[in-house]
């Protein structure tokens, strides 16, 4: 079977999840992959059967299935969940699959809380560069492994279907990874142009450091951390939500153009995925040294 995966790349903004929700209702597909963790998959089927959204959310929260603050999770997830409500009436044979393991969800949430603590300390004027670097290395290393597992899972399941829809936070590199596994991909961005927020820029720069093996100078890292803290303290904390903070931020500090993506090649070497940056390459096994 010639399988096709339509990947919709989302952002942390609710405006992005609303566009993803439109795709869920309008696109043609046999399988739907969502970046929710697998413990709530059962409830999503009930939602697609027609059970009210409010009831499903109440059940999920009552079971303590969301590790992150519930209000933050609901804020982004609500449009996608609304799109799932009664989905079987218009697409009765669709298979709904969540791609995140519970431990991945919990660990990622723990890392985000730890980063929030560092940001709070930064607002108070206490910034430990090495502490930031260490935590970001650990989080990004985990994210790299987690992303590969998700791609492998989606690719394996997608082969069972003619057309699949995937709502993903991953960047465009996901397209190259799918191609390696023999899956045809259509990539669409829910928001274009989108300007990466300072916390995202910081993580992308550290990710490049880990993959390319080129250390980010302390002064550059300190400047990126200061921009992260500035966004949190002067935009996010004074806004009702992240969408409002984003709009305020781009009006004041909008970059001249979106951050250019660094081209990475991804190839298979036995069971080890190799990420190449220019003439340098690192395997995921090698990346372990950066977490220490």
What pLDDT, in 10s, does the model give residues 183-218? 888 888 888 888 999 999 999 999 988 888 888 999
Pairwise CA distance, residues 53 & 172, whole Å: 31
Pairwise CA distance, residues 63 & 77, whole Å: 17
Percent of the chain with pLDDT over 70: 85
Beta bridge partners of 34: 98
* The pLDDT of residue 2: 81
Pairwise CA distance, residues 62 & 65, whole Å: 8
Pairwise CA distance, residues 36 & 58, whole Å: 16
Pairwise CA distance, residues 72 & 133, whole Å: 25
Q: How many other C-beta atoms can be found within 10 angstroms of the C-beta atom of residue 266?
A: 16
- Is it the case that residue 290 has pLDDT exceeding 90? no
- Is it the case that residue 256 has pLDDT exceeding 90? no
Pairwise CA distance, residues 185 & 72, whole Å: 30
- Is it the case that residue 104 has pLDDT exceeding 90? no
Cβ neighbors of 51 (< 8 A, separation 6 or more) are 85
Strand pairing of 184-189 and 280-283? unpaired
Two structure tokens written together for 114:
């730890």
Q: How many other C-beta atoms can be found within 10 angstroms of the C-beta atom of residue 279?
A: 6
Q: How many CA atoms lie within 13 A of 20 on its CB side?
A: 31
pLDDT band at 53 (very low <50, low <70, confident <90, very high): very high
Two structure tokens written together for 59:
């059940």
| Angstrom distances, CA of residue 16 to CA of 8, 210, 281 | 10, 28, 33
8 A C-beta contact, residue 276 and residue 264: yes
């Amino acid at each position: 079977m010639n399988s096709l995966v339509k990947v919709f790349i989302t952002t942390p903004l609710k405006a992005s999840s609303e566009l993803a929700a439109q795709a869920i209702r309008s696109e043609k597909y046999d399988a739907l992959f969502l970046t929710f963790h697998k413990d709530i998959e059962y409830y999503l089927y009930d939602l697609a059967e027609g059970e009210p959204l409010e009831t499903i959310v109440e059940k999920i929260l009552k079971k303590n299935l969301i590790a992150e603050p519930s209000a933050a999770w609901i804020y982004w997830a609500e449009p996608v969940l609304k799109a799932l409500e009664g989905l079987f009436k218009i697409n009765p044979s669709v298979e709904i699959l969540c791609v995140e393991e519970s431990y991945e969800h919990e660990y990622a949430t723990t890392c985000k809380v730890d980063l929030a603590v560092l940001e709070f300390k930064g607002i108070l004027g206490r910034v430990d560069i090495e502490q930031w670097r260490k935590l970001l290395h650990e989080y990004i290393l985990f994210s790299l492994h987690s992303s590969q597992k998700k791609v492998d899972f989606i690719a394996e399941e997608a082969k069972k279907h003619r057309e699949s829809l995937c709502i993903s936070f991953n960047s465009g590199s996901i397209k190259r990874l799918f191609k390696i596994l023999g899956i045809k991909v259509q990539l669409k961005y829910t928001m274009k142009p989108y300007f990466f927020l300072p916390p995202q820029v910081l993580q992308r720069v550290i990710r490049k450091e880990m993959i390319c093996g080129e250390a980010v100078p302390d002064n550059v890292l300190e400047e990126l951390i200061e921009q992260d803290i500035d966004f949190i303290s002067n935009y996010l904390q004074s806004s009702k939500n992240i969408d409002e903070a984003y709009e305020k931020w781009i009006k004041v500090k909008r970059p001249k153009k979106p951050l250019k993506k660094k081209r990475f090649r991804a190839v298979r070497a036995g069971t080890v995925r190799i990420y190449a940056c220019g003439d340098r390459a690192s395997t995921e096994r090698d990346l372990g040294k950066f977490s220490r």
